[in-house]
């Protein structure tokens, strides 16, 4: 057995039980997954037939291109734009770029990008022997980036063996969001010392709509800190120091979403991030990014995550902030099944699937806690080998801190009773104001109390087969199968356009970033895609 599989078992041995807490019809579960494949397969085919400006930029980043001009515009953007303007991107960006390098237009990628921005480089599409030599040169350069990702994964494995994993599950996931990387670092280190197992650096508001990745360390994000390669490097180094101090490996999370999803995923792999928020539909539904752009970008991103050993976190919890958490419960299950299909098709394994769901039922609803348990147990039973990311209440937080603290306690209790793998710490002022540091301390106390007092409760919790909880779980699964059947027949893109998920209507021919989608030519070449799909290193 490979170390990766042994490690996955060790990570989630406490989370996953061989005996499910609820009983689902095995045939219905198989039907649900079959329908998810039918619904997702045409989207994968569509993704394979297209590329995007961000996929091409990510490929050049793997080849080593970094830096930005005096106005902060990355050189990789300049180079891709110049190639697109002269010969297009349907054949892939690396062919004309490395042809120009071989012809002596510039000594390296950075100089070529600078000269292209000044309009002093002429690109062409080589043929014959020139084409083959160019493609070999491109593959050699991109392979160096892939090997860096492989090396970073090996470093993670080594540090986990040295420092160990958290002794208890679920892993405690806590956010920092100052906007300044120099302030984020001490807050993240303090949170790890106080018991956080995963630190999520919240990204600056609106970065998902930037069609470039900012460069360098940043100090002025709004409600979060910009995702940049340097910020990734600084935070990872700081948490490595804290990992040595606390005697367990502290994981780092950021966001691979938005218009630069492939590039940010690539930077995360290069700088050894451990988890990335990466949902197949979040950007479509909640940022109005074009559906085709999103599906093309997310497939490449997940191939990077698979190679890097990164756990993805999906965003189904967001649906319940715009739709009713009881009426729309089955849409969460449908999205989880689709995310599972897309993730595995891209090469991710079960232990990397932090599928999302949330504690968002209105507490005024009768039996709300039993309903929450039913929904959480359905996810846990459908995906027994996945860590699952369980999100705290936000929609029904009112500003009453005592009520909010109680709701978070119920959320923590549901998480441990149902064996969730990743528990985002809920704070009593969540979604009302930016939480104070003291709120975080109280929230961690809440989590620690529940896990210490009831951490083994799952062993004793067995809802009766025909009781309220199991009946509700089976009902939601049935609704999910019905919806998947309709989506498989009508098409996923049409379902998204009709507002099936989160009540957001997003047609496939609209949305931000559509102009960055390119149909691949028959001779399209991208060495990053080839290396990722074949598992090669050279």
Rounded-to-integer distance, Cα 74 and Cα 250, Å: 31
Task: Match 């989160």 to its residue by tokens.
Answer: 502
What secondary structure, in 3-state letters, does 257-300 show?
CCCCHHHHHHHHHHCCCCEEECCCCHHHHHHCECHHHHHHHHHH
Confirm if 389 and 355 have CB atoms less than 8 A apart: yes
Are the C-beta atoms of 207 and 227 separated by less than 8 Å? yes
Tell me, yes or no, if 132 is annotated catalytic: no
Distances (CA, A) of 79 to 122, 295, 401, 424: 12, 24, 52, 40
Q: Is 456 exposed, middle or buried (0-12, 13-18, 19+ CB in 10 A)?
A: exposed
Q: How many residues does the chain have?
A: 538
- H or E stretch at 52: strand 50-52
Q: 319 an active-site residue?
A: no
Tell me whether the omega of the peptide bond preceding residue 446 falls within 30 degrees of 0, making it cis.
no
Q: Residue 124: phi, psi to the nearest 5?
A: -145, 170
Q: Which of 215, 320, 218, 213 shows the shortest CA–CA distance to 257?
A: 213
Enclosing H/E stretch for 255: strand 251-255
Q: Which of 317, 408, 439, 525 does the annotation list as catalytic?
A: 317
Q: Kindly state the helix (H) or strand (E) to which residue 254 belongs, with its residue range.
A: strand 251-255
Alpha-helix residue ranges (DSSP H) falling in 288-419: 291-308, 319-322, 329-345, 368-382, 401-417
Task: Name the β-bridge partners of 512.
Answer: 289
Q: Strands across the sheet with 311-313, in order?
A: 353-354, 311-313, 275-277, 251-255, 198-201, 171-176, 422-424, 389-391, 356-358
Q: How many CB atoms lie within 10 A of CB 276?
A: 28
Distance of alpha carbon 351 from alpha carbon 373, whole angstroms: 22
Candidates 526, 528, 524; CA nearest to 148 is: 528
How many whole angstroms separate alpha carbon 296 and alpha carbon 52? 7
Catalytic residue among 184, 319, 389, 408: 389
State how far the Cα of 502 lies from the Cα of 322, in Å rounded to an integer.
6
Among 226, 249, 282, 319, which one carries the catalytic annotation? 282
CA 468 remoteness from chain centre: 33
Secondary structure (3-state) at 115: helix
Catalytic: 180?
no
Active-site positions read 282, 317, 389
């Amino acid at each position: 057995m490979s170390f990766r599989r042994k490690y996955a078992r060790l990570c989630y041995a406490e989370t996953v039980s061989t005996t499910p807490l609820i009983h689902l019809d095995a045939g219905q579960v198989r039907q649900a997954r079959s329908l998810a494949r039918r619904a997702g397969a045409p989207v994968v085919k569509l993704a394979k037939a297209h590329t995007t400006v961000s996929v091409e930029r990510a490929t050049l980043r793997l080849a080593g291109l970094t830096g930005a001009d005096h106005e902060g515009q990355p050189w990789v953007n300049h180079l891709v734009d110049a190639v697109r303007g002269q010969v297009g991107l349907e054949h892939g960006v690396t062919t004309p770029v490395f042809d120009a390098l071989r012809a002596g237009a510039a000594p390296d990628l950075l100089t070529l990008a600078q000269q292209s921005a000044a309009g002093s480089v002429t690109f062409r599409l080589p043929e014959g022997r020139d084409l083959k030599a160019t493609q070999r040169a491109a593959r050699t350069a991109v392979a160096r980036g892939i090997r860096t990702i492989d090396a970073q994964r090996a470093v993670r494995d080594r540090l986990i063996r040295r420092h160990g994993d958290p002794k208890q599950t679920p892993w405690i996931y806590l956010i920092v969001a100052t906007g300044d990387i120099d302030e984020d670092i001490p807050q993240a280190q303090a949170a790890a010392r106080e018991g956080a197992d995963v630190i999520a650096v919240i990204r600056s508001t609106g970065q998902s709509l930037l069609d470039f990745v900012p460069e360098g360390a940043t100090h002025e994000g709004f409600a979060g800190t910009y995702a940049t390669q340097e910020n990734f490097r600084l935070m990872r180094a700081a948490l490595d120091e804290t990992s040595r101090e606390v005697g367990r490996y502290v994981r780092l999370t950021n966001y691979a979403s938005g218009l630069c999803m492939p590039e940010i995923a690539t930077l995360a792999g290069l700088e050894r991030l451990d988890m990335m928020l990466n949902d197949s539909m979040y950007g479509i539904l909640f940022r109005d990014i074009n559906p085709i752009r999103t599906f093309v970008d997310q497939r490449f991103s997940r191939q990077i995550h698979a190679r890097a050993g990164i756990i993805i976190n999906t965003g189904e919890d967001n649906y319940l902030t715009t739709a009713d958490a009881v009426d729309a419960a089955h849409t969460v299950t449908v999205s989880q099944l689709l995310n599972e299909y897309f993730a595995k098709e891209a090469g991710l394994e079960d232990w990397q699937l932090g599928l999302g769901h949330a504690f968002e039922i209105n507490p005024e609803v009768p039996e709300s806690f039993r309903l929450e348990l039913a929904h959480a147990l359905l996810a846990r039973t459908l995906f027994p080998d996945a860590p699952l990311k369980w999100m705290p209440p936000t929609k029904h937080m009112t500003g009453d801190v005592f009520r909010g603290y109680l709701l978070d306690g119920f959320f923590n209790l549901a998480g441990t009773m149902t064996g969730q793998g990743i528990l985002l710490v809920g704070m009593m002022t969540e979604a009302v104001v930016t939480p104070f540091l003291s709120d975080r301390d109280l929230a961690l106390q809440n989590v620690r109390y529940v896990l210490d007092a009831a951490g083994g409760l799952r062993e004793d919790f067995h809802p009766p087969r025909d009781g309220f909880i199991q009946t509700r779980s089976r009902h939601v699964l049935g609704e999910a199968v019905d919806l998947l059947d309709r989506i498989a027949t009508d098409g996923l893109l049409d379902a998204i356009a009709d507002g099936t998920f989160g009540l957001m209507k997003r047609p496939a021919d609209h949305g931000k970033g559509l102009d960055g989608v390119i149909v691949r030519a028959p001779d399209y070449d991208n060495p990053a895609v080839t290396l990722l799909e074949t598992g090669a290193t050279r």
